[in-house]
Amino acid sequence: MNYRHAFHAGNFADVIKHIVLVRILTYLQEKPAAFRVVDTHAGAGVYDLTSEEARRGGEWLTGIARVMQARFSQEAGALIAPYLDIVRAFNPQRDLGTYPGSPLIARALLRPQDRLTACEIEPHARKRLIGALRRDTQARVVDLDGWMALPAFVPPNERRGLVLIDPPFEAKDEFERMAAGFAEAFAKWPTGSYLLWYPAKSRRATDNLAHHVAGIVASAASPGKCLRLEFSVAPQVAGTALASAGLLLVNPPWMLANELRIILPELEKPLGQGGAGRFRLEVPKP
C-alpha cells in the first residue's frame, strides 16, 4: 500500500498512534534525565485538514473529529487529555483545521533538556517540517532515509528515549525492512523504547513482523518487553481504505498496558465505522 500522510492525517490510525506516543513521552518526563525522540519517517509535521488531499478522503472526520466530540469516563479522559490538548493548541479558533504529525506532537512534550531528531527524505515534506519547527534548537531535521537513520542515531547521547518507526509503506518489502531495521537498532540500543506502526491488511505479514520483533527482544542479553496493539474500525476488505492498523511497543512504560485497557474500549464506539470498532492487546510470542 501507499500511505501518504497528507491524505490520512488525523484518521483513526493517527489517533491511536499519537495517544500511545503521548503516553510514552509523558512517562519519560517523570525522570529528570534528558531523553531523545528519533522519528525515522517524520513527514511534513503539520497537516491542513482543509487541503485538497485531506478533503479527498475525509478520514479525519471519522478520526480526530469524532474523538474531539466524544465523551469519556473520568479515568480514560484524563489519560487522553494530554494528546487532545496538543491538538487543540494547533486549533486556537476551536474549528478543527490543522492536525499535528508525530514530530510536532513529540516537540510539544520536550522539556528544555530533551531533543528531537526528525528524519525526512522527501524534499517537499522536509521543507514543510523545517518550517513547522522554525529552526528549533531542540529539534533537528535530517535529510536521511529512515532505514539508514535507525542504526545511525542509536544509542543517543541522552541514553534514554524513544524511536518511532512509521514508514509510508510504499515499497512491497516494507515489513521486511522494518524487521531488519529494528533488529539492527535494537542490537545497538536494547534499553531504548521503540514504537513501530504498521497497516494491518495482511495477517501473515503482521504476524510475521510481530513474531520477529518479539523474538529479537526475547533473545537479548537482558530481555525487554514487547506489546502488540491492533485497532480495527471495520472489517478490512481488499481494495478499500485502511480499516485496521497496529503498533508494536518495545520496552514500553510498565503502566502503559493497563492504561491502554482503560483507553481503548472507550475509543471503539467513536472510531468504529458502521458499528463499534474493536481492538486486541497482547504480548506477542516469538
Q: Does 265 sit behind a cis peptide bond, omega within 30 degrees of 0 on the bond before it?
A: no
Strand 278-282 vs strand 46-48: parallel, antiparallel, or unpaired?
unpaired
Distance CA 193, CA 162 (A): 5
Q: Which helix (H) or strand (E) holds 125?
A: helix 123-133
The C-alpha cell that represents 245 in the structure block: 492498523
- 225 residue type, one letter: K
Q: Which residue, chain included where needed, has cell 525487554?
A: 224
Residues 226/193, Cβ–Cβ less than 8 Å: no
Catalytic residue, chosen from 145, 166, 173, 207, is 166
The C-alpha cell that represents 175 in the structure block: 515489513
**What are the CA-CA distances from residue 179 to residues 11, 20, 185 (Å)?**
25, 20, 10
Concerning whether 95 is annotated as a catalytic residue, the answer is: no
Strand 244-250 vs strand 278-282: parallel, antiparallel, or unpaired?
unpaired
Dihedral of the alpha carbons of 286, 267, 175, 153, in degrees to the nearest 10: -90
Residues labelled catalytic: 166
